[in-house]
Structure 1
Amino acid sequence: MSAPLPSPSTLAPRAYGPVNWLGLWTLYVKEVQRFLKVITQTVLAPMVTTLLFFAVFALALGGAVRHVAGLPFVDFLAPGLIMMATTQNAFANTSSSIMISKVQGNIVDVLMPPISPGELLVAYALAGVTRGLLVALAVALAIWPFAAIHLHDAAAALYFVLAGSLILSLIGILAGLWSQKFDHMAAVTNFVVTPLAFLSGTFYSVQQLPPFWYAAAHANPFFFMIDGFRYGLTGHTDGDVLLGGSVLGLVALGLWVACYLLLKRGYRLRP
């Protein structure tokens, strides 16, 4: 004879402690598995696209511009392309996840469990960083046979690739929360993320720019990401590495606070 079921009045709520680690980890794993199931689209496709950029610029300019800032052009180009692919895919991961969940109406599956806004933020942001780092590794391995990729300062390279991935993951969360249809998301990608990435010294040294555009480049956070990462791999920098690292840290902190407050409010997540 089976034991009687406890009455609802005797059931105590489950205690999760200050942090629901199980919920946070489950959401993180779900987000990682989401992009790994379509790895051809989320990791391999960016690798091929970046290789095409590398081939076009190396073939078109490599003969005429053999050296940039004392480096072989392909060695100068490689870190910028790696960072550009990393940041764009970190942004795409968080923005697409939130946007698709809103459009399909299953965002409620994330909002109903006992997961706090901070835990939601950590899980989404870390998943975006994970995709960014996987893309960085894939692109670096693909470019390695054609450019000298080595570590001049491993700590700097790691810091800037993590900071860049985190910042774009957080921007992706903001874009996903703000966007109500795919046209909105496309606008953020086409008019904000892509121009800032291309106008950041990815393909050229900002030292060659006129004074106005040189100053404008230093107002672009993408410049500090790429310049710092290039320093970590090659030792060359067009700016101040410590200043760039500090700026990126402050930008990440500001974006983190903004994302947390909007998630706490349920901005465009709740009817």
Structure 2
Amino acid sequence: MERNYNTISPSAMSLLLMKGMTPIPYARQAAELMSYPEQYIPDYDRKEFIFWARLAHFENRYASIDQLLEDIPAKNILELSSGFSFRGLDAVKKRDVYYIDTDLPDLISTKINFVTTLQQGDFETKGTLETLPLNALDEEQFTSIVNRFPPGELVIVNEGLLMYLGDEEKKKLLGIIHKVLKERGGYWITADIYLKGKLKIKLDDKLQQFFDQHRIEDNKFDSFEAAEAFFNEAGFVIDKVAEPDPTKTTALEYLLKTATPEQLAEGRKIGKISATWRLKVK
């Protein structure tokens, strides 16, 4: 039976409502659009440690990709499984890039309306943005979208994709990306190097059900060394590892207010749960 990847998309909606509480570009405006006709009123008095821990993580994850984009001449950027992230909209406003933003059809149809609304008024762009549907495991569709870019190296970006894919699906995706980058040159920046067994905080029932449904814990890597070996086997090497500063995340202030000394101690004990890597073809 063919897997229905569209069941992943509701998580992107709830994540947007969280990110609306951060300075991530266009997150607040998009959260307001998502909430309409109800008013979007973020609650900064929330006391749940798990909420602020997750938000700090996602804010930090977003920044980690920006960090790895900063020091390379990225003119052509393809984002996979972008959800309700508007990195592409922010990019074309600031610089001359050709950015193609993709996700599954159900989500993209909604996102296109958001992008159109966010561009109203005196919105001026220096680059080109396309927002297109793509199942990243469909090689024919993937290649068709890559062919829309002007000549030159390509940077592929993703956050929040690999943990939804089993090993065989991961290998298929790595094969597609390797073939594309072998032909065009460039990089793959992925924020999805998550480790198994590191999530020690208790999730609410709805979130736990979502994790179980998509086998998210099973789809993580056993270790950073195992992850590196997995990518090496597919023909990739690590070019650079992101080192963002978690103290710069706005959610950290609220996390520290709500956390008990025991929770903070446990967090330090657990250590690093994920990484963002910039990869290139061997």
TM over 0.5: no
More helix by share: 1
TM-score by length of 1: 0.28
More strand by share: 2
Q: Name the structure, 1 or 2, with higher relative contact order (CA <8 Å, separation 6+).
A: 1
TM-score by length of 2: 0.27
